Amino acid sequence: MNIFLLSSQVLFFGFGWLFFMRQLFKDYEVRQYVVQVVFSITFAFSCTMFELIIFEILGALETSSRYFHWKFNLYVILLVLIFVVPFYIGYYTVSNIRLLQRQKLLFACVVWFTFMYFFWKLGDPFPILSPKHGILSIEQLISRVGVIGVTLMALLSGFGAVNCPYTYMSYFLRNVTDSDILALERRLLQTMDMIVSKKKRIAMTRRQMYQRGEDQNKQTGFWGMIKSVTSSPTGSENLSLIQQEVDALEELSRQLFLETVELQATKERIEYSKTFQGKYFNFLGYFFSIYCVWKIFMATINIVFDRVGKTDPVTRGIEITVNYLGIQFDFFYAISSSKSSNVIVLILAQIMGMYFVSSVLLMRMSMPLEYRSIVTEVLGELQFNFYHRWFDVIFLVSALSSILFLYLAHKQAPEKHMTP
């Protein structure tokens, strides 16, 4: 069975590697294999923790063997999340700054020590741990990782629970016609023509200035020198004004292009909503709307009455589905570049690892007493009730904030497109 666990970890590592190459980095040249290795290791050990939870329920291994693998996996994942990933995030961030490249290793260590200081001070205001544990104990480390991870999980769950029905329900789709798209494209083309025209004026003015400068250099004598110093080429004063107009038009063209893409995407969503699969997702949108209202109601009840909610595996599965339906990896392509992509992938690995560790903390409450003994023993004397209450608070704040944000965005979107 130990061989089975080892084989599954190798399989998880390979799947993480393929996901990295085929999905995250498919449009970028991979130059730093250490980033791939760190991401794949984080993914492998994160999945192994859920595999161990299944083994706890099935009783697949000896008690001593499960205890050993729990300890080993937790130490490895904590080592990666606290020491390895933050150091390489600092290292690749410093590497992108020219002034710091000569001593990037030193500055990377400074960034890591700064992270460790705030990471350690994070545990002070929270009632998460008994002070009798050692500095490098699992309890000390996982308690702080749990606070960050549960916060991230609650933020993702709150936003996903609201964003999912907003994304898939046809009720929230704006009415976009071909004439709207054509009008916006016409404005974009007119703006591009104006940019080209003004850039031609700038090029012609600079050429005239250059020719006049050559003519003045041919003049000799005292009066020629005085004239070249005191006179200024005609039209040079207008260059800065024209350039400012070009900059403003280029910014307008970028906004018009983004609005055009948004309208095209909305039109495609309207067409998709008319298909069988679109109608299916529309039904799911209504289902998740009810789920979202129920989760907000239960989180409020838990906070008001200081109650610890016990989430069953079905609800957890729905919650994870909401997260993955509501939040995609599109933001990676929006903000990544050849310089920042390594840092972004490492941040994703950090979020993923903390998410999985926090899931283990929260899922412990859902497990029957006979199945949670080893998990409780390995995790130590943590204040498990605190994490559940903290999740409810952050989930409620995230969900209500997402409702307000999406309402304002949905209300302002038609006004923006109708602007002449």
Q: What is the C-alpha end-to-end distance of the chain, expressed in Å?
A: 68
- How confident is the model over 172-199, as pLDDT tens digits? 777 777 788 888 888 889 988 988 888 8
Mean pLDDT of 79-92: 90
- Report in angstroms the alpha-carbon separations of 308 from 111, 311, 317, 389: 37, 9, 19, 6
CA-CA-CA-CA torsion for 146, 152, 155, 158, nearest 10 degrees?
-70
Mean pLDDT of 369-392: 76
Least confident of 198-212, 221-235, 350-364, 405-419: 221-235
pLDDT band of 93, cuts 50, 70, 90:
confident
- How confident is the model over 206-217, as pLDDT tens digits? 887 777 765 555
| Most distant CA atoms of the chain, gap in Å | 103
List beta partners, residue 382.
129
Examine the pLDDT at 73 and tell me if it is beyond 80: yes
- How confident is the model over 99-108, as pLDDT tens digits? 777 788 888 8
- Give the pLDDT of residue 24: 64
C-alpha span between 329 and 344 (Å, rounded):
11
pLDDT band of 337, cuts 50, 70, 90:
low
- Give the pLDDT of residue 217: 57
- How confident is the model over 12-51, as pLDDT tens digits? 899 888 887 776 665 555 457 888 889 899 999 988 888 8
Long-range contacts of 1-7 (CB under 8 A, 24+ apart): 1/60, 1/61, 1/65, 2/65, 5/48, 5/51, 5/69
- How confident is the model over 146-164, as pLDDT tens digits? 888 888 888 888 888 787 7
C-alpha span between 95 and 107 (Å, rounded):
9
Distance of CA 373 to the CA centre of its chain: 35
Burial of 306 (0-12, 13-18, 19+ CB in 10 A): exposed
- Give the pLDDT of residue 320: 46
Mean pLDDT of the chain: 76
- Give the pLDDT of residue 84: 92
CA 203, 205, 206: angle at the middle one, nearest 5? 65
pLDDT band of 279, cuts 50, 70, 90:
confident
Helix and strand counts by DSSP (H, E) for the chain? 15, 0
CA neighbours within 13 Å on the CB side: how many for 164?
Answer: 29
In contact, 89 and 350? CB cutoff 8 Å: yes
Convert 129-150 to b/e letters by CB count within 10 Å (16 or more is b): beeebeeeebbbbbbbbbbbbb
- How confident is the model over 295-328, as pLDDT tens digits? 788 788 877 776 665 544 434 444 444 444 444 4
